[in-house]
Amino acid sequence: MNKLIDGKLLAEKIRAELKTKAKGMNIGLAVVLVGANPASQVYIKNKIAACEQVGIKSSAHYLDDSTTEEQLTKLIKKLNTDKSIHGILVQLPLPKHLNERKILSNIDPKKDVDGFHAVNAGALFLGWEDCLPACTPAGCIELIKSTGVDMTGKHAVVVGRSNIVGKPVAILLLNENCTVTVCHSKTRDLPYITRQADILVAAIGKKHFITADMIKPGAIVIDVGINRTDDKLYGDVDFENAQKVASHITPVPGGVGPMTITMLLANTIKAAKHRYD
């Protein structure tokens, strides 16, 4: 029998646990948004609401499109030294005139709750448990664990090699003792490889790119894709047909999305605990 992996339900469960962890701690998260990207504004709103839910104090910094690299860097450095702030999040994408890599590298790695800093990415690669992992990949692992399936020795195939999802989720799967294959736009005979996956993570950014005939019967399918078409959200997986083949599968929306924000909260509390300890 196929089973839906309910990201909303799992997120609520984990957030209740995080609320208990945060109790008695004065935790602060600074959120920085440059420009008026409508999607980014929605994400920020959701993140602030989630912070309130678990007892994290959020402070939002809204900057206009004309903000210079120098001005943004100055704000980040100020937040780095602010003892009331334990996590800093610069919402992506940034306006084109700002160097994303340079801006993110200015965030104190101990406050980098998005897990994008090279220090945290390197610590993740080395398997250091005290690092702050990228939120979406960490959420994917929690979703897989929620199925109760032992990941040890399973063949996990990741479709996509981005620094934000593909690469870090591959490392996290390795840390769970999976055998991992990473596929991308240059991979030859992709369906042949995806059909070998006990665990398939789709993070390529193309609507319904993964079809049912590309999925091994009984596989766990995690759909990271968020593709907006005709004001509707679609995943990278053809969910309607894929669910007939997979043993466990995440929907879009309601799968990975809620868990991404939940892992942001977990990272913020983790960062605060390091400071308190």
Task: Give 10-residue mean pLDDT values along the chain (277 residues).
Answer: 88 98 95 93 94 96 96 98 97 95 97 97 93 97 97 98 97 97 96 98 96 98 93 94 97 96 98 80
What integer pLDDT is reported at residue 32 of this predicted model?
A: 97
What integer pLDDT is reported at residue 274 of this predicted model?
A: 82
Residues 165 and 201 in one domain: yes
**Given 92, 108, 124, which residue is the final one in a domain?**
108
pLDDT digits (tens, 9 = 90+) for 175-202: 999 999 999 999 999 999 999 999 999 9
Residues 70 and 142 in one domain: no
Domain-embedded: residue 146: yes
Residues 102 and 181 in one domain: no
Residues 56 and 143 in one domain: no
Q: What is the pTM of this model?
A: 0.95
What integer pLDDT is reported at residue 229 of this predicted model?
A: 86
The CATH number of residue 224's host domain is 3.40.50.720
Residues 146 and 216 in one domain: yes
Cα–Cα dist 55/14, whole Å: 14
Show the domain range for 249. Answer: 135-257
Residues 98 and 165 in one domain: no
What integer pLDDT is reported at residue 1 of this predicted model?
A: 47
Domain-embedded: residue 11: no
pLDDT digits (tens, 9 = 90+) for 16-60: 999 999 999 999 999 999 999 888 999 999 999 999 999 999 999
Domain-embedded: residue 129: no
Domain-embedded: residue 187: yes
Residues 72 and 178 in one domain: no
Q: Which residues are catalytic?
A: 47, 91, 114
Domain-embedded: residue 37: yes
Domain-embedded: residue 153: yes
What integer pLDDT is reported at residue 2 of this predicted model?
A: 61
- Domain count for the chain, please give it: 2
Domain-embedded: residue 145: yes
Residues 102 and 52 in one domain: yes
Domain-embedded: residue 33: yes
The CATH number of residue 31's host domain is 3.40.50.10860
